[in-house]
């Protein structure tokens, strides 16, 4: 299980929401199968629909 809080703690170089989305897509491509959203991303550019966007990035990484 991949938790969003773990991603944020492990990936200190993430500087914006787009970086987080790209990181989640890569992790899904590398074989992560389950993703749990347990915190809100701390970036100033985090959109209102951030949960949907992160879930979509993780589940549709091949598109």
Phi, psi of 49 (to 5 degrees): -95, 35
pLDDT (0 to 100) of residue 61: 63
Claim: this prediction has a pTM higher than 0.75: yes
In the predicted structure, residue 12 carries a pLDDT above the cut 70: yes
Average of per-residue pLDDT across 8-36: 96
Average of per-residue pLDDT across 8-33: 96
N- to C-terminal Cα separation, the chain: 22
pLDDT (0 to 100) of residue 62: 66
């Amino acid at each position: 299980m991949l938790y969003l809080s773990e991603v944020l703690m492990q990936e200190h170089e993430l500087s914006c929401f787009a970086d987080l989305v790209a990181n989640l897509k890569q992790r899904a491509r590398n074989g992560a199968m389950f993703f749990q959203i347990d915190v809100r991303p701390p970036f100033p550019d985090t959109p209102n629909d951030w949960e949907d966007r992160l879930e979509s990035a993780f589940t549709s990484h091949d598109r």
